[in-house]
């Protein structure tokens, strides 16, 4: 058998090349970890350059001193103290967290029934409907932010409709350049971040629901004891994704926030483009990362986050 | 509430969410044909002049070309690196869970902080910021976890007995990979490359801090938004939305053909 099989093999390299190749394969087979290491090497190198070393740079920079003549190496806690002493910065941080929480909460309230609709309310157009949720997800958030200008502006769609219906006499300015427009737009942009995890992890088996109702559970009890626990990992995943995205927002508050809707990210970015205080900017960036990691620690108590992000180790 | 009524309620609700998701995009498309000088209403009649203006906008073409080049190279690199990592994760090794978490970490670090941190790094190294140096690193790093997860998921569903059969018939690992494994996962690989390309093409914040004097399309749109706001922007946006739609549909078709 083995000999016949060998005759039917696809053409392989011959001679020295072949034996070198076999030596290599034999080596890799003997030391499996060599293969793992070789395959992981490029990703590790990239992660070092993209994530690890830059964050170390942030930490180092956060202790430096910013002077009129540029950044001076130092080891001082002054930048951290500067953050704490000036109430403007902690207040801004709290306001940004509050805005991000608002965006996350409303997204969840909107998405949950919507995901339920996609999972159970449709049959025929399901794929199309799913694609329609995904398309905005694939479209530039710059454009999705910009797209609210002609809706909320003084001459925008909302004011136009209100005027036509004679509900208001003059255009309302209150729709744009404030916290409202920022929250609304962030919800619009990041809604798919909430819908998709809820959907993909919702391994809701119709038979479970039937079983529950056969055993005499009311729809409410079924929802509370079956549907909700099963969808919890997706919900936690969605909360994490939307909060991080909203909290780290820069474009939306910059473009639609006016002065009252400015967020933490804008002040952080200003340290690098306007005021050029790199050490203080590093402190702000580290605080932003710390908030996100804190959220992850809390979230991981409620669900296995690895699964949320698609990992299957 | 009866079942039928609940279903109609859900449908109405679903429709409302779609209206919320799509009204701004539809408005943008409609207004790109609007014959006035502002980007909003009122409607001033149908025109194609904003698209004609686009065709004459030289700097736009440069930034489009930059975005396409960057997107293609990013997709290629991050697909190769991500696929290698995904294959490494097929075998069991010590510290696997920890390694997985580190690989997924870029998902949860806000792009703004990455952009700023990369700026510090490249400045300290004395690397001159540019499209195919610093920005490329930012984009490949950004897209890598997505590609890795997509390909891992694909490999996880892969039937390993097919490979075993090939090996039993005398093929070595490399032959098995090219003759059996790769053809089977190719749609997944193409799909993730497509995804990486789209992510790179739309990326803004990491680009802003790493690109120096070069331009990508999102950077160009951003600087245009700061200076002059004309319906030309609506026209650019419409074309990008159309391209995204086309890409998603192509991606979905690829995914279906695989099954």
Question: pLDDT by residue (tens digit) across A225-259?
Answer: 777 777 888 888 899 999 999 999 999 999 898 88
The DSSP call for residue A71 is: E
Position B196 in a domain: yes
Position B206 in a domain: yes
A161 pLDDT exceeds 90? no
> Residue B201 maps to which CATH number?
1.10.3720.10
Q: How many helices (H) and strands (E) does chain B have?
A: 12, 0
Q: Which domain holds residue A202?
A: 82-308
- Taking only the tens place, the pLDDT of each residue in B8-37 is 888 889 899 999 999 988 988 888 888 777
Question: What does pLDDT average to over chain A?
Answer: 82
* For B170, nearest residue in chain A (alpha carbons): A6
A131 contacts on B by Cβ (under 8 Å): 248-249, 252
Split at pLDDT 50, 70, 90, the class of A48 is very high
Split at pLDDT 50, 70, 90, the class of B2 is low
Q: Who wins on pLDDT, A86 or B171?
A: A86
Please tell me whether residues A46 and A112 are part of one structural domain: no
Interface contact B109-A312, CB threshold 8 A: no
Interface contact A313-B100, CB threshold 8 A: yes
Residues 135-174 of B with CB under 8 A from A: 137-138, 140-142, 144-145, 148-150, 152-153, 156, 168-174
Output the pTM of the full model. 0.87
| pLDDT above 70 coverage of chain B, percent | 95
Tell me, what's the pLDDT at A312? 45
Tell me, what's the pLDDT at A3? 43
Query: Which among B26, B77, B110 is the top mutation candidate for probing chain A, defined by the most A β-carbons within 10 Å of its own β-carbon?
Result: B110
> Residue A156 maps to which CATH number?
1.10.3720.10
A13 pLDDT exceeds 60? no
Interface contact B225-A156, CB threshold 8 A: no
Position A4 in a domain: no
A195 pLDDT exceeds 80? yes
Interface contact A113-B10, CB threshold 8 A: yes
A127 contacts on B by Cβ (under 8 Å): 252
Angstrom distances, CA of residue B86 to CA of A16, A41, B229: 31, 12, 44
Interface contact A292-B110, CB threshold 8 A: yes
Position B87 in a domain: yes
- Taking only the tens place, the pLDDT of each residue in B162-209 is 887 887 887 777 788 888 888 888 888 888 898 899 899 989 999 999
Angstrom distances, CA of residue B35 to CA of B26, B38, B234: 17, 9, 12
Interface contact B14-A118, CB threshold 8 A: yes
- Taking only the tens place, the pLDDT of each residue in A90-106 is 999 999 999 999 999 99
Q: Who wins on pLDDT, A94 or A12?
A: A94
Please tell me whether the peptide bond between A268 and the residue prior to it is cis, using omega within 30 degrees of 0: no
| pLDDT above 70 coverage of chain A, percent | 85
Question: Any CB–CB contact under 8 A between B127 and chain A?
Answer: no
Question: Any CB–CB contact under 8 A between B104 and chain A?
Answer: yes
Average pLDDT over residues B229-255: 81
Split at pLDDT 50, 70, 90, the class of B228 is low
Tell me, what's the pLDDT at A252? 93
Q: How many CB pairs under 8 A join A and B?
A: 273
Split at pLDDT 50, 70, 90, the class of A174 is confident
Query: Which among B12, B36, B121 is the top mutation candidate for probing chain A, defined by the most A β-carbons within 10 Å of its own β-carbon?
Result: B121
Tell me, what's the pLDDT at A205? 59
Average pLDDT over residues A180-191: 94
Q: Per the structure block, which two tokens stand in for A109?
A: 């309230």
Position B160 in a domain: yes
Number of domains comprising chain B: 1
* For B78, nearest residue in chain A (alpha carbons): A43
Tell me, what's the pLDDT at A5? 42
Position B236 in a domain: yes
CB nearest to A153's CB, from B28, B40, B240? B40
Interface contact B42-A160, CB threshold 8 A: yes
A255 contacts on B by Cβ (under 8 Å): 225
Interface contact B204-A251, CB threshold 8 A: yes
B57 pLDDT exceeds 70? yes
Tell me, what's the pLDDT at B229? 66
The DSSP call for residue B161 is: H
Tell me, what's the pLDDT at A109? 94
- What contacts A192, CB < 8 A, 6 or more positions away? A133, A134, A136, A137
Which of A3-12, A238-247, B98-107 shows the lowest mean pLDDT across its residues? Answer: A3-12
A151 contacts on B by Cβ (under 8 Å): 23-24, 27
Question: Torsion angle of alpha carbons B145, A299, A235, B155, nearest 10°?
Answer: 30
Give the integer Cα–Cα distance in Å for B86 and A147. 37
Please tell me whether residues A51 and A93 are part of one structural domain: no
Average pLDDT over residues A203-213: 66
Give the integer Cα–Cα distance in Å for A284 and A268. 6
CB nearest to B14's CB, from A35, A117, A278? A117
Interface contact B221-A312, CB threshold 8 A: no
Q: Which domain holds residue B108?
A: 58-258
Which range of A44-53, A114-123, A130-139, B169-178 scores highest in mean pLDDT? It is A44-53
Tell me, what's the pLDDT at A198? 84
Interface contact A311-B225, CB threshold 8 A: no
- What contacts A232, CB < 8 A, 6 or more positions away? A302, A303
Q: Per the structure block, which two tokens stand in for A182?
A: 């920022």
Position B29 in a domain: no
Number of domains comprising chain A: 2
The alpha carbon of residue A106 is apart from the nearest alpha carbon of chain B, in Å, by: 13
Position A304 in a domain: yes
B248 pLDDT exceeds 90? no
Interface contact B118-A54, CB threshold 8 A: yes
Average pLDDT over residues B109-132: 92
What is the 3-state composition of chain A as percent helix, strand, coil, each rounded to the nearest 5? 75, 0, 25
Please tell me whether residues A29 and A137 are part of one structural domain: no
Which of B65-79, B185-199, B217-231 shows the lowest mean pLDDT across its residues? Answer: B217-231
Interface contact A309-B107, CB threshold 8 A: yes
* For B15, nearest residue in chain A (alpha carbons): A114
């Amino acid at each position: 058998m083995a000999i016949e099989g060998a005759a039917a093999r696809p053409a392989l390299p011959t001679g020295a090349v072949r034996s070198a190749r076999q030596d290599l394969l034999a080596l890799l087979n003997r030391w499996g970890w060599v293969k793992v290491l070789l395959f992981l090497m490029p990703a590790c190198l990239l992660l070092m350059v993209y994530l690890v070393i830059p964050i170390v740079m942030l930490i180092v920079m956060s202790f430096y001193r910013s002077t009129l003549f540029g950044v001076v190496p130092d080891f001082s806690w002054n930048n951290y103290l500067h953050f704490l002493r000036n109430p403007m910065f902690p207040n801004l941080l709290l306001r940004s967290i509050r805005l991000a929480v608002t965006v996350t909460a409303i997204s969840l309230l909107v998405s949950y029934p919507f995901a339920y609709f996609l999972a159970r309310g449709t049959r025929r157009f399901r794929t199309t409907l799913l694609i329609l949720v995904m398309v905005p997800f694939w479209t530039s958030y710059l454009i999705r932010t910009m797209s609210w200008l002609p809706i909320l502006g003084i001459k925008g769609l909302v004011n136009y409709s209100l005027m036509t219906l004679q509900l208001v006499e003059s255009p309302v300015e209150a729709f744009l350049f404030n916290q409202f427009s920022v929250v609304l737009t962030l919800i619009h942009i990041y809604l798919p971040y909430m819908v998709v995890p809820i959907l993909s992890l919702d391994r809701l088996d119709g038979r479970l629901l039937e079983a529950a109702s056969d055993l005499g559970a009311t729809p409410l009890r079924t929802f509370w004891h079956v549907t909700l626990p099963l969808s919890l990992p997706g919900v936690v995943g969605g909360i994490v994704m939307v909060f991080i995205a909203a909290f780290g927002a820069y474009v939306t508050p910059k473009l639609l926030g006016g002065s009252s809707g400015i967020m933490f990210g804008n002040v952080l970015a200003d340290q690098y483009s306007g005021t050029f205080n790199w050490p203080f900017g590093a402190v702000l960036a580290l605080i932003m990362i710390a908030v996100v990691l804190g959220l992850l620690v809390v979230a991981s108590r409620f669900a296995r986050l690895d699964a949320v992000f698609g990992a299957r180790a | 509430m009866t079942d039928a009524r609940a279903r109609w309620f859900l449908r109405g609700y679903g429709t409302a969410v779609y209206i919320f998701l799509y009204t701004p995009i539809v408005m943008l498309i409609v207004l790109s044909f609007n014959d006035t000088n502002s980007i909003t209403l009122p409607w001033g009649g149908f025109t194609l002049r904003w698209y004609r203006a686009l065709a004459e906008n030289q700097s736009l073409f440069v930034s489009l070309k930059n975005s396409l080049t960057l997107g293609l190279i990013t997709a290629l690199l991050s697909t190769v690196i991500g696929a290698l990592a995904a294959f490494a994760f097929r075998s069991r090794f010590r510290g696997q869970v920890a390694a997985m978490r580190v690989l997924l970490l870029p998902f949860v670090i806000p792009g703004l902080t990455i952009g700023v941190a990369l700026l510090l790094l490249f400045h300290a190294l004395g690397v001159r910021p540019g499209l195919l140096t610093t920005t490329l690193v930012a984009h490949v790093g950004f897209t890598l976890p997505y590609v890795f997860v997509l390909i891992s998921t694909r490999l996880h569903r892969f039937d390993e007995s097919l490979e075993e059969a090939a090996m039993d018939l005398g093929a070595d690992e490399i032959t098995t990979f090219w003759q059996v494994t790769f053809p089977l996962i190719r749609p997944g690989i193409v799909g993730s490359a497509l995804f990486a390309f789209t992510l790179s093409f739309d990326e803004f914040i990491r680009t802003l801090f790493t690109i120096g004097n070069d331009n990508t399309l999102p950077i160009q749109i951003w600087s245009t938004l700061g200076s002059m706001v004309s319906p030309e922007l609506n026209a650019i946006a419409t074309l990008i939305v159309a391209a995204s739609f086309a890409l998603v549909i192509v991606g979905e078709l690829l995914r279906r053909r695989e099954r």
